[in-house]
Structure 1
Amino acid sequence: MQPTAITNALTIDVEDYFQVSAFAPYIRRDEWDARECRVEANVDRILAMLSRRGTQATFFTLGWVAERYPALVRRIVEQGHELASHGYGHQRASELSPEAFSQDIRRAKGILEDLSGRPVLGYRAPSFSIGEGNLWAFDSLAEAGYRYSSSVYPIQHDHYGMPDAPRFAHEVRPGLLEIPVTTLRVMNRNLPSSGGGYFRLLPYALSRWMLRQVNAGDQASAIFYFHPWEIDAGQPRVAGIDAKTRFRHYVNIGRMERRLEQLLADFRWGRMDQIFLGSSTH
């Protein structure tokens, strides 16, 4: 483990492989229930990995998944992790009206709280889909009773991103923090340093160096994220997708679990609520 005492936030976006936004043009929502669901087994593998390391994390969970796997939701909470919201049906916030977005985030929060018996304080928009065009989403989150969001990625990307947004936690509405996923500032540009496909693509040593720079140089906690499907090399291959989508989704999936084990060993990790809200374990 690194010598610094800084605790970083480990976050998991709980969704299945067929629900990712990049597959939306290829897989209709009304097909989801007919697909082979693998999310429960993959999350259980992650829970076992975290248990071996004595690590706690935040699980941003879809309401759709929670409804179908209520026992999994309870296992997450019983093992000391934070349960947070990823919305209900993995619809991008940028594609919803204010009314539909409010319904989505309230529906997911209610499902998760009813199943877990715990307050749900955090939210992450699917595909980091809060940006300049829908800042009203923060009003909806505050009104729904959320205490923090982790929905902005301060980078330039073809699917999302708000490169001029603040890089670290800040209050966006009274009582509501936005906690962006981590970037490293290099030559007036923000480099993605917080997981996902970049973590699978880049050499592990480079990802580790960037996170250490944020801890040591910025004296800030990093926010790292990944998905359960990223450790699942045996997931069904989606047919007919374009080459760019295929590369992004499947690159180095077979190496991901080993890299995560190394990441857990190299840094100190914890829950979003405890790091940024000072919340004790409920």
Structure 2
Amino acid sequence: MEFSEAPPIKFFTAKVLIFDFHMVCLSFDIEEFDAPREWGMPIAFERQLDISATGTNAILAILEGFGVRATFFCTANFAEHRPRLIKRIAAAGHEIASHSYYHSKFSQGDLLASRLKLQEISGCQVVGYRSPRMGAVDYAELEKAGYKYDSSINPTYLPGRYNNSSKPYTIYNVGGLREIPSSVSPLLSNWGRIPLFWLAIHNLPLGVYKFLADRCYHKSGFLNIYSHPWEYTEELKDFRPPFYVARNSGARMIYRMSSLIAHFKEKGHRFGTLSELIDERH
């Protein structure tokens, strides 16, 4: 029996495209600065607006300096009183999302009303929502009001604020909505998660925060870090906030956020808005 010679084996090389879906998403909650009332300090409505506007301008300067886009969760009440600032945010390419209609009171109708008002003022589609003080949300009502994602969950335990340690720290679906939780350190057990929200930026050593944020970026696939414009103003200290709020505020907070963005840039981390994040994941 004769055997024919086996044909030569051909090796083919192909270009492999690697898609990096990791993303740093900075978000800022623009609202009437009513926090002093929680601290027993009176504050006039117009001054609430002015302080938030001052901080927002400082944030926009930081982002412009680094060429970074972010998501701004705005109350419709603030937008109605400072429409030119909202238009400026949108014109710079940032995402406008809803922070409800008012910061201190809520009704279900505010979900749709705030989205429509923000769209009217900004000229942009509004698809994201974050409840004031990261309060509980009704996902069915959010979906009915036309939202595509929510970012009202801080998946950690913080006495008096959050009890979400059992919830995922990665993006997940709830009905037809995407939930994008605030970032937490995945280094410890569920009950020991370290939140990477605004208070952590104020109080953790910057080197420690950067280390935790990098680990979260690589393990979770994204960073969702949020803060408030009033943290970037010196006027915050006029209202005698708790030490852990006042610490590293004003010019120091501007430095800290700038240092974080510079660090992420040096690491090659990508930046984008929260709506871009869910569009890529979809």
Smaller-chain TM-score bracket: 0.7 to 0.9
Residue 266 (structure 1) aligns with: 263
Give the AA of the match of 2:25.
Answer: A
What's the counterpart of residue 108 of structure 1? Answer: 114
- Residue 65 of structure 1 pairs with residue 78 of structure 2: yes
For residues 183 and 76 of structure 1, what CA distance do their matches in structure 2 show?
27
**1:214 matched residue in structure 2:** 216
Which of the residues 33, 39, 64 maps onto 1:51? Answer: 64
Residue 248 (structure 2) pairs with residue 252 (structure 1): yes
- Cα distance in 2 between the residues matched to 1:177 and 1:124: 12
Q: Secondary structure at the residue paired with 1:11?
A: strand
Aligned twin of 1:19: 34
Return the offset for 1:23: 3.1
Alignment of 1:96-135 (within 5 A): 100=107, 102-130=108-136
**1:1-282 paired onto structure 2 within 5 Å:** 6-16=22-32, 18-20=33-35, 23-24=37-38, 26=40, 31-33=44-46, 37-91=50-104, 100=107, 102-130=108-136, 137-161=138-162, 162-174=164-176, 176-188=177-189, 189-216=191-218, 218-235=219-236, 237-238=238-239, 246-254=242-250, 255-267=252-264, 268=269, 269-278=271-280
Deviations 1:50-75 (A, max 9, x none): 11111000000111110100001100
Q: Deviations along 1:143-192, whole A, 9 cap, x unmatched?
A: 10000000011111123221111111111122x11110011133413423
Q: Which amino acid aligns with 1:114?
A: E
Task: Work out the CA distance in 2 between the residues paired with 1:145 and 1:27.
Answer: 37
Contact 2:26 2:224 in 1 (8 A): yes
The 1:187–1:246 alpha-carbon spacing in structure 2 relative to 1, beyond 3 Å, is: closer
- Counterpart of 2:57 in 1: which secondary structure? helix
Q: Secondary structure at the match of 1:67?
A: helix
Shift of the 45–171 alpha-carbon distance from structure 1 to 2, 3 Å rule, reads same
> Cα distance, 1:249 vs. partner?
2.5
> Per the alignment, do residues 179 and 155 of structure 1 end up closer, same or farther by CA in structure 2, a change over 3 Å counting?
same
TM superposition score normalised by structure 2: 0.82
Alpha-carbon distance between aligned partners in 2 of 1:77 and 1:41, rounded to the nearest angstrom: 17
8 Å contact kept, 1:230–1:256: yes
Alignment TM-score, normalising by the size of structure 1: 0.82
Q: 1:167 to 1:35 in 2, by over 3 A?
A: closer
* Partner SS for 1:13: strand
Superposition RMSD on alpha carbons, in Å? Answer: 2.3
Q: Displacement of 1:26 after TM fit? A: 3.0
Contact 2:236 2:246 in 1 (8 A): no
Gaps spanning 5+ residues in structure 1: where? 240-244
**1:193·1:211 contact (CA, 8 Å) conserved in 2?**
no
The alpha-carbon deviation at position 207 of structure 1 amounts to 0.8
Q: Is the 8 A contact 2:58 2:254 kept in 1?
A: no
CA distance in 1, matches of 2:178, 2:26: 17
Q: Greater shift after overlay, 199-208 or 83-92?
A: 83-92
Return the offset for 1:221: 0.5
Alpha-carbon shift at residue 118 of structure 1 (Å): 1.4
